[in-house]
């Protein structure tokens, strides 16, 4: 099987799996315990934290380990809202965020916060002018994702950070789940306050992620218990998961994959571009590893099935919104025209892919288009 759905999840790497097993065997003690075994586990936990901090350019920063990207995003939005509600009541995010930001924002609206959702153009880009206009004195959080998980649009987070710092005192959170390891990210250089990462999108393990912040910034807690993770995230910390996340982040950033993916993506774009009844979403300004295309009056599911039959795994726009049968909020937000809305599929590359996978995709794509054309000419007759 050729796996081209790496934005949904990735295969854990051998190194990560073997480290996870070894750490589970050797450092199973509770990192909060006073005894030697606990102390060793704590040392490994702190070393993991240190490694993660330095990878994302926040050598003095804060790392809170979570159960994944969703929890880290929830913690950022709900936690900072609680922390800074005395400062203001206004939150800005975008209309194409992951549901873990979107629905957390909706919840905050119910709790009385005022939330603005920035609109995007047909390629999924926000407008810096709109961001500037929407910023207010009482804006406490701005959360903008780096790379969109459905169509791959890259937002200009560095420029956003400048504008936010200039016009408000808001905390700038950035969901970097899809970009970490593929695009360079430095909390210090980009002027970010907090980012979310997830292990299973970068060949790590499911059930593990982190919220990483610049020095001195921590959210309020949103769960209650023994006060682990500086009192922010109670629950016995999984030291093996923390080490595995640090290892996955190191491995993914050590290898420069952006250029390779970029070439593959461009090759596919050139191949698909002039095909009748197929359009490419966010052709420009998009992450090198994500390509979304839409078929005219064909359900995405039909295309997915065809590829599946021919040994290639791709997905409809996003695993998180693909089962509802409705067009997702991202597809709605970019204003895709009606006949294409249901027909979006996403191809996303990962470490295990090779050029031959891309070539094979092209073949299967052509065969699918042939079938469609034949079907349509039959209709005509």
Partner 1 sequence: MKWNELLIRYGELSLKGRNRNYFVRKLKRNIETALSDLHSFEIKSERDRMFLYADGKDDMEEAIKRLPFVFGIQSFSPVAKCPATIEDILQTALDVVGSGETEGKTFKVEIRRTDKSFPFVTNELQQKIGSHVLRNFPELSVQMKNPDILLFVDIRLEGAFLTSKVYPGAGGMPVGSNGKSLLMLSGGIDSPVAGYLLMKRGVAIDAIHFESPPFTSELAKQKVIDLAEKLSSFGASVKLHVIPFTELQQLIVGKIPDGELMTTTRRIMMQIADRVRVETDALGIISGESLGQVASQTLDSLTAINAVTSTPVLRPLISFDKLEIIDLATKIGTYDISIRPYEDCCTIFTPAKPKTKPKLERVKHYESFVDFEPLLEEVIKKRKIYNLPRQEKDEFADFL
CB of 239 to partner 1, least distance (A): 10
Task: Name which of 44 and 199 has its Cβ closer to partner 1.
Answer: 44
**Whose CA is closest to 276, among 207, 366, 348?**
366
Q: Which of 320, 329, 351, 357 is catalytic?
A: 320
Q: Does 23 bind partner 1 (CB under 8 A)?
A: yes
Per-position x/- string for 27-56, each x denoting binding to partner 1 as judged by CB under 8 A, each - no binding: -------xxx--x---xx--xx--x-----
Count of other CB atoms within 10 angstroms of residue 331: 27
Q: Give yes or no for a contact between 127 and 119, defined as CB atoms under 8 angstroms apart.
A: yes
Please give the Cα distance from 190 to 221 (Å, whole number).
26
Task: Name which of 26 and 260 has its Cβ closer to partner 1.
Answer: 26
CB of 369 to partner 1, least distance (A): 47
Please give the Cα distance from 25 to 20 (Å, whole number).
9
Count of other CB atoms within 10 angstroms of residue 309: 10
Q: Which residue has the tokens 């809202």?
A: 81
Please give the Cα distance from 234 to 226 (Å, whole number).
5
Binding part of the chain for partner 1, among 228-236, 240-248, 260-268, 352-360 by CB under 8 A, reads 240-248
Sheet holding 194-198, edge to edge: 62-66, 209-213, 194-198, 171-175, 139-143, 90-94, 114-118
Task: Name which of 35 and 165 has its Cβ closer to partner 1.
Answer: 35
Residue from 83, 87, 206, 250 in contact with partner 1 (CB under 8 A): 250
Q: How far apart are the first and last CA of the chain?
A: 37
Binding part of the chain for partner 1, among 186-194, 221-229, 241-249, 284-292 by CB under 8 A, reads 241-249
3-class DSSP state for residue 295? strand
CB of 36 to partner 1, least distance (A): 5
Per-position x/- string for 272-311, each x denoting binding to partner 1 as judged by CB under 8 A, each - no binding: ----------------------------------------
Q: Does 25 bind partner 1 (CB under 8 A)?
A: no
Q: Which chain residues interact with partner 1 by CB under 8 A? A: 19, 22-23, 34-36, 39, 43-44, 47-48, 51, 243, 246-247, 250
Give catalytic residue positions: 320
């Amino acid at each position: 099987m050729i796996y081209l759905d790496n934005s949904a999840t990735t295969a854990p790497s051998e190194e990560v799996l073997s480290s996870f097993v070894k750490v589970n065997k050797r450092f199973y003690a509770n990192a909060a315990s006073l005894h030697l075994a606990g102390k060793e586990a704590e040392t490994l936990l702190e070393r993991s934290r240190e490694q993660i901090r330095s990878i994302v350019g926040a050598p003095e920063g804060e790392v809170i380990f979570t159960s994944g990207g969703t929890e880290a995003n929830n913690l950022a939005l709900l936690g900072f809202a609680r922390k800074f509600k005395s400062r203001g009541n206004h939150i800005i995010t975008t209309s194409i965020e992951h549901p873990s930001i979107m629905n957390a924002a909706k919840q905050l609206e119910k709790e009385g916060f005022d939330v603005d959702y920035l609109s995007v153009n047909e390629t999924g880009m926000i407008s810096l002018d709109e961001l500037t206009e929407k910023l207010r004195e009482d804006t406490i959080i701005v959360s903008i994702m780096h790379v969109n998980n459905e169509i791959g649009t890259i937002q200009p987070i560095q420029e956003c950070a400048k504008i936010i710092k200039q016009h408000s005192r808001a905390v700038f959170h950035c969901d970097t789940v899809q970009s970490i390891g593929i695009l360079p990210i430095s909390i210090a250089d980009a002027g970010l306050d907090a980012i979310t990462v997830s292990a299973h999108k970068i060949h790590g393990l499911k059930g593990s992620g982190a919220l990483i912040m610049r020095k001195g910034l921590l959210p309020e807690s949103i769960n209650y218990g023994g006060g682990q993770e500086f009192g922010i995230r109670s629950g016995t910390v999984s030291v093996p998961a923390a080490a595995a996340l640090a290892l996955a982040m190191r491995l993914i950033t050590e290898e420069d994959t952006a250029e390779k993916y970029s070439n593959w993506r461009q090759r596919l774009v050139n191949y698909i571009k002039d095909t009748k009844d197929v359009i490419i979403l966010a052709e420009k300004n998009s992450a090198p590893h994500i390509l979304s295309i839409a078929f005219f009056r064909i359900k995405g599911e039909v295309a997915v099935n065809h590829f599946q039959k021919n040994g290639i795994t791709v997905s409809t726009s996003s695993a998180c919104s693909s089962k509802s049968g409705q067009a997702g909020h991202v597809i709605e937000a970019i204003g895709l025209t009606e006949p294409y809305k249901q027909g979006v599929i996403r191809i996303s590359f990962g470490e295990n892919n090779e050029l031959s996978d891309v070539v094979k995709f092209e073949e299967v794509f052509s065969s699918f288009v042939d079938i469609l054309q034949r079907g349509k000419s039959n209709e005509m007759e």
